[in-house]
Chains A and B, each alone.
Chain A
Amino acid sequence: MKRFLLIPMFASALYGSDELSNFSNGNDAFEAGNFSGAITNYQAQLETGLTSPALHFNLAHASYEAGQLGRSIFHYRRTLTLAPRDGDAQQNLGRVRDEVHNGTPPKAGFWRRLTGYFTINEWTLAAVTLLTIWWFWLAAINWRPQWRKRGAVVRPIIGTAAVILAAVAILSLRLETNQPWAVVVEKEVSVRYGPVGASPEQFKWFDGAELRVRDTHTANGVEWILAQDPPGRQGWLPAKAVLRPNR
């Protein structure tokens, strides 16, 4: 019986050590100045499907040191999606963006700045907590009308706050799902009028350009995306030239 009990413990220990080995191998490679080795190890960890803000942070840092600014921006943004109040990631992302945009990075839109202080799930939980309290309270005063006067001032405040938080949670989700983003990770990429290689080139985007994905199209087995940059320029580019968060 004891043997059977030991099997899951041993398996979990092995699993845990595997998890940590990729991460710590990445850190070791980074400390040795082998940034591409560090990236490979961190990527191997990401491919297991298990992730954390620290993993994306280190991958972003290694990419920055390896001169892959676009990849670095992508992973700092992923860090901030998971841990939006991570001051170190914010500072490093600002630094990389400064380098890409020569000191004048484009500003995030108002709604992104508003919703960016919490994760979608944090907004959601805050909203549902207040909504649940508010709805149960409303239910209670219908059940026992004599309770109506208790908390008559607080109740509408909770209700208003709950509705606002719910709106922000929905907005935050829509921004993430309806406006998918991508970062150029090639040194330079030609942006074309149409989703075919033969289409004339409009202009170029460079490593680190942050884009909004408007559409995707697959032609001859090659996936293309229609993307737009902050100044409003738009065009088609091969999907392999960018990194996008997994849907």
Chain B
Amino acid sequence: MRGYIFILLCLGTTVHAATLTATLKPGTIKQGDSAILTVRCEGYELATVDPERTPSGMGFSFRGREKQLTSLDGADKVSVTFTYLVTTSKSGGYVVPAFTAKLPNGDLLRSEPLTFMVLDRDGDAVAGRQPNGFIKVQIDQSKVFLGQSFSVTMELFVLRLLPSDLPVPQLTTPGFRFTRKRPEFFRTVRLENGTRYDVFVFKTGAVATKVGKRNIVFETAVTVRDSNNLFGKRKQIQVTSNPIAMEVVPLPAEGRPANFSGAVGSNLLFKVKAGSTAVNTGDPVNLSLEISGRGALDQTTVPGSDQWEGFKLYPAKSNIKFLGTRHLYAFKNFERIIVPLRPDITEVPKIEFVYFDIGTKKYVTRTAGPFPLRVTGPAIQTGIGDPPKLPNTQLEPDQKAGKMEPLRRAPGVLEPAPSPLLTRPWFLVAQATPLLAWLLLLSWRRRQIYLEKHPAVARRIRVQKLTRKTMRTLRQSNTQADPDAFHANVQIILREHLGMAMNRPAEGIGREILEDEALPLSGENLAALERLHERNQLARFAHVQEPVNAPLNFKDLDRVILALQ
């Protein structure tokens, strides 16, 4: 037992004396090279150390762990050294975050963050030059309470920034958050060590969210041109601020009311308005609660209990309006619907809002109400015949913001991933149908209009069509077996062609055309026409029953048609 106590005492002593120190060599490297980071723990044999955060654009590559034992004045002292290679993706200023390790007694060892510079790949050429960018930060306080907001002014100094790309410097140290993620800024030009920088001044605020001493660091990646040439190559550089020491102290436990929910501010005001003074049981009453003043009110929850005797309470809806560019002052309004369930209720109970006042360093309780309320009607049993669901019963918007939406309970329709319709041949073919219909009808319509304007062409087409059709009939053996029908069809063709050639209607043309002076036929062609008419006369009117000599008729007909064309 004594031995056990001795070991515990020894362990306590060794642990108590332990320290964590980080060193980085060299302090300036070229992009693509690595710096060697050593984290040394003296006084305790640590198994691992971890960086406080994972910085963007920076990688740690573990190279080894070395244990050393030294004897000093007869006492053994242990130390462990962890070695890492630090590489970065971009040139610029960087901050290696603090490394931490937890001891068995619960103490947290923490090294200091380290700054270093990464030059371009042509580092030799630019080593003497001013850095392309850096951040200067002004913070109005170095010691704050947990949950307290404070003002932050960030000045981003940068050379040849591409105007379309202006990132907001980010607060990368855990334990702090901005009051506004996209703060307002103005642009100016300043001379710094003989170099003219474009300076972007961001005015915002921050809130302490974790207790402890920390070095607060701001950083961002900016895209710049690598030369003054308008067409210079784009490159990204990392810019950082120097670490600023901040201490966040916990809120005092002494005097803390049980209903304190974490609000911290200065001279906060609290007002409540009840929407009605006389209602029936089951009717909703709107309560409007307003908190205003200096403080980080965005995460303040609705004041008052969630259970009121004789009332049904619905979740509150909130909205917040900020005053000033830094969002350090705000009006936060909660709309809450309460439903009285019993007629013996005579008032809306008083509501308390507790906050920690930064100025007086004490907890302050503000109260509103009670508000008189006359309730009539029968009592409503909770659980049986609850008042109907009211609108606006969702979560508060700022409770919802930043939360991950929960899982889906049902998988929905499970089906193969749809391929784009535009890549499916059947779909494209189907789409061609209305297009083709339009193109066909368009060309048909155009043809109609043309033929209306050119009647001669229309007649020629009609005659050619009729000729083709009649010729097909003439070549049929049953037509050739009937001389009457055969010659009647030959006459149809002749009439149409003679009418077209002489620009007359075809209907009135007969044998007398042979005497017409305008007939554009002569010699053998005229004789062929006369023969055709003669055979027609003999067959149709003299009823001479001779078989049709089709080849002879076709020969004469072809000659006449060719001559007329």
Q: Give Cα A154–Cα B442 distance, bound, in whole angstroms.
A: 20
Interface status of A181 (Cβ within 8 A of chain B): no
A contact residues around B191 at 8 Å (CB): none
A53 to chain B minimum Cβ distance, whole angstroms, is: 6
B185 to chain A minimum Cβ distance, whole angstroms, is: 14
Contact across chains for A121 and B420 when beta carbons are under 8 A apart: yes
B contact residues around A112 at 8 Å (CB): none
Render B73-106 as a binary contact track against A, CB cut-off 8 A, 1 for contact. 0000000000000010110000000000000000
- Of the candidate stretches A1-9, A96-104, A218-226, A236-244, the one touching chain B is A96-104
Contact across chains for B172 and A102 when beta carbons are under 8 A apart: yes
Interface status of B404 (Cβ within 8 A of chain A): yes
Q: Give Cα A30–Cα B32 distance, bound, in whole angstroms.
A: 41
Contact across chains for A121 and B404 when beta carbons are under 8 A apart: no
B contact residues around A206 at 8 Å (CB): 56, 59
A159 to chain B minimum Cβ distance, whole angstroms, is: 11
| Given A104-B167, A204-B59; A132-B405 close (CB under 8 Å) | no
Residue in A27, A136, A203 whose CB lies within 8 Å of B409: A27
Query: Quick one: which of B422-459 are within 8 Å of A by CB?
Result: 422-423, 431, 434-435, 437-438, 440-442, 444-445
Residue in A91, A136, A145, A169 whose CB lies within 8 Å of B438: A136
Residue in A103, A177, A203 whose CB lies within 8 Å of B170: A103
A contact residues around B32 at 8 Å (CB): 200-202
Q: Give Cα A51–Cα B411 distance, bound, in whole angstroms.
A: 8
Q: Give Cα A98–Cα B441 distance, bound, in whole angstroms.
A: 57
B contact residues around A49 at 8 Å (CB): 416
B contact residues around A136 at 8 Å (CB): 434, 437-438
Contact across chains for A95 and B417 when beta carbons are under 8 A apart: no
Contact across chains for B416 and A173 when beta carbons are under 8 A apart: no
Nearest CB in chain B to that of A200: its residue: B32
Contact across chains for B438 and A138 when beta carbons are under 8 A apart: yes
Interface status of B258 (Cβ within 8 A of chain A): no
A30 to chain B minimum Cβ distance, whole angstroms, is: 6
Interface status of B168 (Cβ within 8 A of chain A): yes
Interface status of A213 (Cβ within 8 A of chain B): no
Interface status of A58 (Cβ within 8 A of chain B): yes
Interface status of B151 (Cβ within 8 A of chain A): no
Contact across chains for A27 and B407 when beta carbons are under 8 A apart: yes
Q: Give Cα A82–Cα B413 distance, bound, in whole angstroms.
A: 12
Contact across chains for A131 and B434 when beta carbons are under 8 A apart: yes
Interface status of B213 (Cβ within 8 A of chain A): no
B contact residues around A45 at 8 Å (CB): 411, 414
Contact across chains for B422 and A52 when beta carbons are under 8 A apart: no
Interface status of B163 (Cβ within 8 A of chain A): no
B contact residues around A89 at 8 Å (CB): 405
Contact across chains for B234 and A231 when beta carbons are under 8 A apart: yes
| Given A104-B170, A139-B437; A52-B431 close (CB under 8 Å) | no
Residue in B405, B406, B418, B440 whose CB lies within 8 Å of A121: B418
Contact across chains for B170 and A102 when beta carbons are under 8 A apart: yes
B contact residues around A176 at 8 Å (CB): 420
Chain A contact-residue range equals: 35 or more
Contact across chains for A58 and B407 when beta carbons are under 8 A apart: yes
Contact across chains for A173 and B407 when beta carbons are under 8 A apart: no
Contact across chains for B422 and A169 when beta carbons are under 8 A apart: yes
Q: Give Cα A57–Cα B404 distance, bound, in whole angstroms.
A: 11
Render A111-128 as a binary contact track against B, CB cut-off 8 A, 1 for contact. 000000001110011001
Interface status of B253 (Cβ within 8 A of chain A): no
A contact residues around B431 at 8 Å (CB): 128, 131-132
Interface status of A143 (Cβ within 8 A of chain B): yes
Render A154-194 as a binary contact track against B, CB cut-off 8 A, 1 for contact. 00000000000000011001001100000000001000000
Q: Give Cα A53–Cα B415 distance, bound, in whole angstroms.
A: 10
A contact residues around B523 at 8 Å (CB): none
Listed residue (B422, B423, B445) with the most chain A CB atoms within 10 angstroms of its CB? B422
| Given A173-B422, A204-B59, A231-B234; A50-B412 close (CB under 8 Å) | no
Q: Give Cα A89–Cα B416 distance, bound, in whole angstroms.
A: 20
Query: Quick one: which of A14-38 are within 8 Å of B by CB?
Result: 19-20, 23, 27, 30
| Given A135-B434, A142-B445, A203-B90; A233-B416 close (CB under 8 Å) | no
Query: Quick one: which of B49-71 are within 8 Å of A by CB?
Result: 56, 59
Render A38-64 as a binary contact track against B, CB cut-off 8 A, 1 for contact. 000000010001111111011001001
B364 to chain A minimum Cβ distance, whole angstroms, is: 33
Interface status of B421 (Cβ within 8 A of chain A): yes
A contact residues around B221 at 8 Å (CB): 231
| Given A104-B220, A139-B437; A124-B417 close (CB under 8 Å) | no
Interface status of A246 (Cβ within 8 A of chain B): yes
| Given A30-B407, A88-B405, A102-B172; A19-B414 close (CB under 8 Å) | yes
Interface status of A151 (Cβ within 8 A of chain B): no
Q: Give Cα A200–Cα B31 distance, bound, in whole angstroms.
A: 13
| Given A103-B181, A104-B220; A92-B405 close (CB under 8 Å) | yes
| Given A136-B437, A203-B89; A52-B421 close (CB under 8 Å) | no
Q: Give Cα A49–Cα B417 distance, bound, in whole angstroms.
A: 8
A contact residues around B168 at 8 Å (CB): 103-104
A contact residues around B410 at 8 Å (CB): 54
Q: Give Cα A173–Cα B404 distance, bound, in whole angstroms.
A: 30
Listed residue (B181, B221, B407) with the most chain A CB atoms within 10 angstroms of its CB? B407
A100 to chain B minimum Cβ distance, whole angstroms, is: 9
Contact across chains for A120 and B89 when beta carbons are under 8 A apart: no
| Given A27-B407, A91-B405; A135-B56 close (CB under 8 Å) | no
Interface status of B236 (Cβ within 8 A of chain A): yes
Contact across chains for A54 and B404 when beta carbons are under 8 A apart: no
B contact residues around A138 at 8 Å (CB): 438, 442
A contact residues around B389 at 8 Å (CB): none
Q: Give Cα A188–Cα B54 distance, bound, in whole angstroms.
A: 11
B contact residues around A103 at 8 Å (CB): 168, 170, 181
B contact residues around A201 at 8 Å (CB): 32
B contact residues around A54 at 8 Å (CB): 408, 410-412
Interface status of B223 (Cβ within 8 A of chain A): yes
Additional 19 contacts, C-beta under 8 A, given A49-B416, A124-B420: A27-B409, A50-B416, A52-B413, A53-B412, A54-B408, A64-B404, A82-B417, A88-B405, A89-B405, A102-B172, A128-B431, A135-B435, A135-B438, A138-B442, A142-B445, A173-B422, A232-B234, A233-B236, A246-B417
- Could you name 23 residue pairs across A and B whose Cβ atoms are closer than 8 Å? A50-B415, A54-B410, A55-B412, A58-B408, A61-B404, A61-B407, A92-B404, A102-B172, A104-B167, A104-B220, A120-B420, A124-B422, A131-B431, A132-B431, A135-B437, A138-B438, A139-B440, A142-B441, A143-B441, A169-B422, A170-B422, A204-B89, A205-B89
Q: Which 4 A-B pairs have the closest CB atoms?
A: A88-B405, A54-B408, A135-B434, A203-B89
Which residues of B approach A to under 8 Å, CB–CB? 32, 56, 59, 87, 89-90, 167-168, 170, 172, 181, 220-221, 223, 234, 236, 402, 404-418, 420-423, 431, 434-435, 437-438, 440-442, 444-445
